[in-house]
Amino acid sequence: MATMDGAIPSGDLKLAAHIAQPARAAAGPRSALVVCHGFPAGPGGALTSAQTYPDLADHLAAETGWTVLAFNFRGTGESEGNFSLEGWLDDVVAVVDHAVDMPRIGGVWVAGSSAGGSLALCAAADDDRIRGVATLAAPADFDDWASDARGLIAQCRSVGVIRDADFPEDVEAWTSEFKTVRPLAAVGGIPPRPLLLMHGSDDSTVPVSDARALADAADGQADLRVIAGAGHRLRHDPRAIAALMGWMERQGVG
């Protein structure tokens, strides 16, 4: 089982990371995919968050010939820091920065699951270095997260993504990020770059209507895939991973 065996800087923090390389060396530039996990679930879930993503990265690299970067957002796994939505968005950009600076990388794409997919959309809208985005069960907004700030902070402490007793220093500012980070507003800035939106028809966590709303906001230029009978955890659905790999193979520069 692969692990987060490296680190990538994000501001003053270090993010636990795993960089998967294909077995065969490419003759020319290679494509890179940054993979973003979702928000952890259950008491103490932050500690084991994304623990299967290094294996996923290895699988994607082996099957597609891409370099694949998996990482833990701040406040999860062995990464430093505490959760904030803007902080997680900064983490996406930091890992993209790292991928762009790697030798022989000819282009960077981003994929994300659940909240990680939403943040991938937001990052790409403001960063044309990101050449395409694929999402799995991404929410169209974070409005419901902002409805009960104190309850959300308590949940974050229980899950383990907020570790420090004095965080956040400014609860109002921390909460406002759930209103200012707007995937639904951002997604229209991605086309004509490739955009794949995958969602399970039976997702009880994020309704499939969110994916349709995102596709509509992209002016019909998104590839929307509704996977019959699938729930929220598309990362574990072979059909979703096969669709992701097919999308990667249609994009690559390597």
Separation between Cα atoms, residue 92 and residue 71, nearest integer Å? 9
Q: What is the CATH number of the domain that holds 185?
A: 3.40.50.1820
Identify whether 119 is part of a domain. Answer: yes
52: left (phi over 0), alpha (psi -120 to 50) or beta: alpha
Under DSSP, the state recorded for 197 is: E
Identify whether 1 is part of a domain. Answer: no
Q: What are 167-199's pLDDT values in tens digits? A: 999 999 999 999 999 999 999 999 999 999 999
Question: Does residue 18 surpass a pLDDT of 70?
Answer: yes
Identify whether 154 is part of a domain. Answer: yes
Q: What are 110-124's pLDDT values in tens digits? A: 999 999 999 999 999
Q: Which two tokens stand for residue 110?
A: 């981003």
Lowest mean pLDDT among 16-20, 45-49, 52-56: 45-49
Element (H, E) at 7: strand 6-10
Question: Does residue 109 surpass a pLDDT of 70?
Answer: yes
Q: What are 200-224's pLDDT values in tens digits? A: 999 999 999 999 999 999 998 999 9
Question: Does residue 254 surpass a pLDDT of 70?
Answer: no
Q: What is the pLDDT of residue 148?
A: 86
Identify whether 46 is part of a domain. Answer: yes
Identify whether 178 is part of a domain. Answer: yes
Residue among 181, 185, 180 at smallest CA distance from 218 = 185
Whole-number mean pLDDT of the chain? 95
Question: Does residue 252 surpass a pLDDT of 80?
Answer: no
Q: Domain range holding 119? A: 6-251
Identify whether 176 is part of a domain. Answer: yes
Identify whether 66 is part of a domain. Answer: yes
CA 118-225-62 angle, 5° bins? 80
Q: What is the pLDDT of residue 35?
A: 99
CA 49-248-31 angle, 5° bins? 90
Domains: count for the chain: 1
Q: What is the pLDDT of residue 171?
A: 94
Identify whether 100 is part of a domain. Answer: yes
